[in-house]
Structure 1
Amino acid sequence: MTGAAVSRPAELPEHDYPYYRDALAGQRLPAAFIDLDHFRINLERLRVRAAGMPIRLVTKSVRSVAMIRLALATGNFIRGLLCYSPAEAAWLASQGLDDLVVAYPSVEREDLRAVAAQLRNGRSITLMVDSMAQVEQIDALARAEGVVIPLSIDLDMSSTFPGIYFGVYRSPVHDVATAVALANGIAACPGVRLEGLMGYEGQIAGLMDVVPGQGLKNAIVRSLKRRSIDETNTRRRNVVQALTAAGHPLRFVNGGGTGSVESTKSDPSVTEVAAGSGLYTPALFDHYASFQALPSAGFALPVTRLPKDGIFTCSGGGYIASGPIGKNRLPQPWLPAGCTLIDNEGAGEVQTPLRHPASVALKIGEPMLFRHAKAGELCERFNELLLITGGRVVDQVTTYRGDGKCFF
């Protein structure tokens, strides 16, 4: 990346449609872009929210080595990376990045061998586990490769209330007894060692709670969050204390995400908070009581048809986000404001029609701007990201896809 010296930005209003339209003039569409001014503001807001707590950058929410490097270059409050695949972590390590923790368990032998190779090169990569079945396979491979692989235990942070399971289904390690038993099992295996604990409270970090038009639901969600924060922070703290007392000191205790920075860092057992989505700020992170950030990632589709009054059609656009099926997983028309998807077509594989107000009259070839529902998943659809600052494209950088990488 050649175009972006990092500096602490002053606050500025959100950029409007003419700003992006003019910046993208002459660029091939469809195109994905990053507003560097907004990106830097989001980084600064994250620093303020963290208030001295180290942030481990979640790579699945970025998925571009250049953008990861830019985030790391902002200062020492971002320390290390939280990866989603051992193969990804090994590749990032080969690019010179270090202090990598893999957030999801895997026993894919080829990927584990790649991790072992990077460990022999002096890189730090910690793998996630939640069962002895995983530990035993990793231990066997590590001994065959002549390395000791660092491990972290994934602690379940969901809450169960009467009639409500509030959280996500991740780990079977849900209390002191199961955590200590797994730690003891790790200690008995010579090819691995315990270094960390991760407790991700997805029901706090990933659930909006001030969504317009959903007043009652918002109130219920905020109430459940308050109860869950108290319960899960206590659980994580008790597990850390028990592991230490049982002779298993931890190098790090990781928790949270963009939506839970404040509540996660209130747990004194936590040594670092994970965050990533708040840098790009996709549509699913628009409505949180605890923070606000600016949209910095978007994509532009060209208008290619004008089938009738009040409707124009764009090329491409069917970039659907993962998660439960629903309209909130669709890309959202962004700028010009007031345009909407059509219910019986949505965002299509090769075309996306939109209804538009009379005040919006885009011409054939002009860009329509969208935001993805999630953060890094947008990068799976594009080889490059155009970097915009000062009203112009100053650089373009590759995504993982542009580097020829697909880790799942």
Structure 2
Amino acid sequence: MKVLLKGARVLDPSRGLDGILDVLIDGERITLIGEDIKAEDAKVIDLSGLLVVPGLVDMHVHLRDPGLEYKEDIESGAKSAAAGGFTAIACMPNTVPPVDNAAMVSYIASKAERVGLSRVFPIGCISKGREGRELAEMGEMAMAGAVAFSDDGNCVSDASLMRRALMYAGDFGKVVIDHCEDPTLSAGGVMNEGYVSTLLGLPGIPRSAEEVMVARDVILAKETGAPVHIAHVSTKGSVEIIRRAKAEGIPVTCEVAPHHLVLTEDAVMGYNTNAKVNPPLRTEEDVEALIEGLKDGTIDAIVSDHAPHSMDEKDVEFDKAAFGISGLETSLGLVLTFLVGAGKLSLEEVVEKMSANPARILKIEGGALKEGALADITVIDLKKKWAVESAKFFSKGKNTPFEGWELKGKAVMTMVGGRIVYSEKQY
């Protein structure tokens, strides 16, 4: 079936494309982009006044499936992703049991294919059981479809194991994604170590817990020549370390989550467990450094770090509450409102860091609007004002610190392989 998207502003920073254009889709792929395209046999969708961009890619999502489906499952997570404008997501392996073998990778891939919404790319464990003792079977998982390796939620504390992981993953053309947190420094901490933690009487997690491991991973990447990706960077020091590494040509990339760009540790005041996240919310100085890192290219990607939990796991004492924010459906709106809307990042920079760059890091198809490319497309209404209502989330996770926030800019249609998988209007 042919579909003709008419009259939208078509933006693809990877090609320097920005104009009022039409997009013709035949089956799963784009066949033509241009002005005033005629196609009598195509279904025409008028997108005048809207923005068409390459499908958004979120390379850091927790789907909780298998084993923790009460928090989220592949179907609810894929629905949430589509509603957030994401045509592709990569899911972390901290499930029960962990995704540390080819059978588990195949389970996720096959279930996601049956669901048929946003594309779901499995990430395999670095170590067996995510225990940090013995390497998992990376080669077998790569062959089964794993796009990267991570023990996310746990740091690979053993430097020797991390070194071998980088070398093996590099041999298979895959990137290692590390959750940088020295457990001897962060042990028992529940929020950023500083004035607010002291005021609230809560044990803190120092910046050094992250930065020590970032520095170590950079050194190992330099020595092995294998790429490493630093997950959810949260501190000024981490940004500075990565900036220097990139200047030296070391193969390191990194990401940041919207909550680390728009919130500080002050959000924890009142013992707000929905603001409890790992790494923790930091200070205004750190937020400014993260935004500067996005602007100068030090930080490659913006990710949701979608971490859904049941409310029973959040509606408890702060030190007992689970870490994490349900972020797939708020990420784009937060970035458009508080970064683009505030003049801190350009629209082109945001699209690049939420589409082309994650696809490039994971080496998956996507991130571009061009003839022959997959018709994975996100349609955005930059003028749409909306309020965050977690009760309306497609995700099972309603844990958000942004409840009631007024945002401007929203994905209103998501297409995967030429199929509309989410739309706020009937076409």
Category of TM-score, reference length = shorter chain: 0.3 to 0.5
The TM-score with structure 2 as length reference comes to 0.36
Instruction: Work out which of the two has the higher radius of gyration on C-alpha atoms and give 1 or 2.
Output: 1
TM-score by length of 1: 0.37
